[in-house]
Amino acid sequence: MLRVNITAVSEFVFVGLSDAPEIRLLLFVLFLLIYLATLVGNITLLVAISTNSHLHSPMYFLLGNLSLLDLLCPTITVPKMLGALLLEHKKISFSGCLLQHFSLIAVVGTEIFLLAVMAYDRYVAVCHPLRYPSIMSTKLCAQLALGTWATGLLNSLLHTSLVFTLSFCGPNKIQQYYCDIPPVLALSCSSTHSRELVILVVAGVLGSSACVVTVVSYIYILLEILARHSPGIWHKAFSTCGSHLIAVCLFYGTTICTYVRPSSTYSLHRDRVVSMLYGMLTPLLNPIIYSLRNKEVKCALKRVISQVRRAL
């Protein structure tokens, strides 16, 4: 028979930010500006992709999904953090923490798989340019995007069920500014070793699979470039793949440092910084990276900005 989990903890308290009033105000202004810039950047990119017929292609369809994920990721955590900084509302209910945890892991997992799909898209574009429209059809792109979202949700459901069916009957102070896996596991009054192992194995298998797809795609791209020996091929390939490659390195580096390790190596100060990197700076930088490295996106963004100016 399944054991019913009865928890004595009905709410958690975030203690991951400074209690000094002057620092809290400074952090509030800084994070608010970053959050607003992230919203503006990703919403503008989504509008540019959806309204410009030249950007109605598989690459930009996938980029639109990435922008949507970059909108959701900080929205899940930052508003609560801003409330804690300004109004000192540091408490979150058990169900609220569960929902925040589920949503964040779903978004992070989906983005990992989406970046792998985008790497495959770049492989087809470079190695099979003539067959690109037939291989990366609208139907296949929709199926791949739907698959990434479904896999991310299922992965998050597994992780959330493993974490929040534990017993929480003691301390309720989360040493972070959101409900993350390591600090929540640290609060459990039951054994977490077996569940940590399952989380690491599942995350390792799924994450490494997505990473293998990305790495193999770029190995084939590199081999194709070396085999052609045509002038300007390096510049053309980097203009095609550079933005995605930068986004992959930024996202994988911060995510792996945060999640792909046991909780015994958890460091409060280091992990807060790393969490802010992937939770706030990565969603901010992605639209900048793609707009600076892509002429079509820059032209589309200029049209959107000029339309907004005329409307105002």
Whether the Cβ atoms of residue 95 and residue 83 lie closer than 8 Å to each other = no
Burial 219-247 (b: 16+ CB within 10 A, else e): eebeeebeeeeeeeeeeebeebbbbbbbb
Q: How far is CA 168 from CA 11, 165, 190, in A?
A: 10, 9, 8
Tens of pLDDT, residue by residue over 78-96, are: 998 888 888 777 888 999 9
Cα–Cα distance measured from residue 117 to residue 147, given in angstroms and rounded to the nearest whole number: 10
pLDDT digits (tens, 9 = 90+) for 108-149: 899 989 999 999 998 998 888 889 999 999 899 999 999 999
Helical axes 58-87 vs 21-51, angle rounded to 10°: 160
Please write the tens of the pLDDT for every residue from 39-49.
Answer: 998 998 898 88
Architecture in CATH of 14-311: Up-down Bundle (1.20)
Highest mean pLDDT among 87-101, 136-150, 172-186, 252-266: 136-150
For the entire predicted model, the pTM comes to: 0.84
* Residue 240: band (very low, low, confident or very high) from pLDDT cuts 50, 70, 90: low
CA 178, CA 201: separation in Å to the nearest integer?
23
When comparing pLDDT for 176 and 133, which is higher? 133
First-to-last alpha carbon distance for the chain, in angstroms, is 64
The residue ranges of every structural domain in the chain are: 14-311
